[in-house]
């Protein structure tokens, strides 16, 4: 049975876990998620003065990473349709003393409130699989990306190398959901949803092909940490 990714369920689920979302990400990934974002903003580095958009931004970690990579000289916009997550991002922005060139805005990735061809980079980290229609979300990301600009998708994946695949699969499907639910209690079983949604989401060449169909060229695939995460990059 397909994972329930209805807008209402996803909004409620992330709204409930928002206060402990960052703690859980860092704990369950052993802080390696910071490294994945660090690699992303270097592989897909800002160039020129066009703005950057990070969709499904959650609490804004990748948007903040892009702001820092650009040294605050390029406008960075983070969008998410869960207001509770954005509120955490706003607090992080304030604690960092950032008062300009980084903004958060509530928006659905399937209906982005921006004109065509605006952004030099359109990124998403661990969020596209939560969009109810992946292809619609991809097309919207490509639509608002400027010609010659890049779309970057950072997402969980399953390692191919054994025994890492078996060990990680056991942790991901059995340990992580129990630990996550214990620390960040919620009514939507968010940390059971995580491995289920990753298992359903296209990866490797499947996702690369969908990016091409959405209007991207020169799609490259970068594997991180034994294949636990993968970065996909395409040019409009």
Q: Which of 101-105, 159-163, 227-231 has the highest mean pLDDT?
A: 101-105
Q: Give the Cα separation of 191 and 175 in Å (integer).
A: 10
Q: Of 12-16, 170-174, 204-208, which gets the smallest average pLDDT?
A: 170-174
How many other C-beta atoms can be found within 10 angstroms of the C-beta atom of residue 215?
Answer: 15
Q: Residue 188: what pLDDT?
A: 47
Q: Residue 227: what pLDDT?
A: 87
Q: Residue 161: what pLDDT?
A: 73
Residue 13 has pLDDT above 80, yes or no: no
Model pTM above 0.85: yes
148: confidence class by pLDDT, cuts 50, 70, 90: very high
- Mean residue pLDDT of the chain comes to 88
For residue 27, what are the contacts with CB-CB under 8 A and spacing of at least 6?
Answer: 183
Q: What is the mean pLDDT of residues 104-129?
A: 97
Say if CB 110 and CB 142 are below 8 A apart.
no
Q: Residue 159: what pLDDT?
A: 78
Q: What is the pLDDT of residues 174-232, one digit of tens each?
A: 776 676 666 656 544 655 666 677 678 888 999 999 999 999 999 999 999 988 899 99
Q: Of 40-44, 124-128, 196-200, which gets the smallest average pLDDT?
A: 196-200
Q: Residue 19: what pLDDT?
A: 76
Residue 119 has pLDDT above 70, yes or no: yes
Q: What is the pLDDT of residues 104-116, one digit of tens each?
A: 999 999 999 999 9
Q: Give the Cα separation of 62 and 94 in Å (integer).
A: 16
Which of 14, 9, 94, 12 minimizes the C-alpha distance to 57? 14
Q: Residue 101: what pLDDT?
A: 96
Q: Residue 160: what pLDDT?
A: 78
Residue 27 has pLDDT above 70, yes or no: no
Q: Give the Cα separation of 49 and 102 in Å (integer).
A: 14
Say if CB 119 and CB 149 are below 8 A apart.
yes
CATH of domain 7-157+202-235: 3.40.50.150
40: confidence class by pLDDT, cuts 50, 70, 90: very high
Residue 124 has pLDDT above 90, yes or no: yes
Tokens representing residue 134 in the block: 């992946």
Q: Of 18-27, 62-71, 108-117, 205-214, which gets the smallest average pLDDT?
A: 18-27
């Amino acid at each position: 049975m397909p994972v329930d990714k209805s807008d209402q369920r996803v909004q409620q689920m992330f709204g409930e876990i928002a206060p402990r979302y960052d703690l859980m990400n860092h704990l369950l990934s052993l802080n390696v998620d910071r490294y994945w974002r660090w690699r992303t903003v270097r592989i897909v580095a800002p160039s020129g003065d066009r703005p950057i958009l990070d969709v499904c931004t959650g609490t804004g970690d990748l948007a903040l990473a892009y702001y820092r990579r650009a040294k605050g000289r390029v406008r960075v916009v983070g969008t998410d349709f869960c207001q509770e997550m954005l509120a955490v991002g706003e607090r992080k922005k304030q604690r960092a003393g950032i008062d300009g060139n980084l903004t958060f805005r509530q928006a659905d990735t399937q209906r982005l409130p921006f004109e065509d061809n605006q952004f030099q980079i359109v990124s998403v980290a661990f969020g596209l699989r939560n969009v109810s229609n992946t292809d619609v979300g991809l097309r919207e990301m490509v639509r608002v990306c400027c010609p010659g600009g890049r779309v970057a998708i950072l997402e969980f994946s399953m390692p191919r190398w054994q025994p890492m695949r078996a060990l990680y699969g056991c942790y991901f499907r059995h340990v992580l959901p129990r630990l996550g639910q214990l620390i960040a209690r919620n009514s939507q079983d968010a940390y059971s949803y995580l491995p289920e949604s990753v298992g359903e989401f296209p990866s490797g060449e499947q996702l690369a092909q969908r990016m091409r169909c959405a209007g991207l060229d020169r799609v490259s695939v970068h594997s991180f940490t034994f294949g636990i995460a993968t970065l996909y990059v395409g040019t409009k």
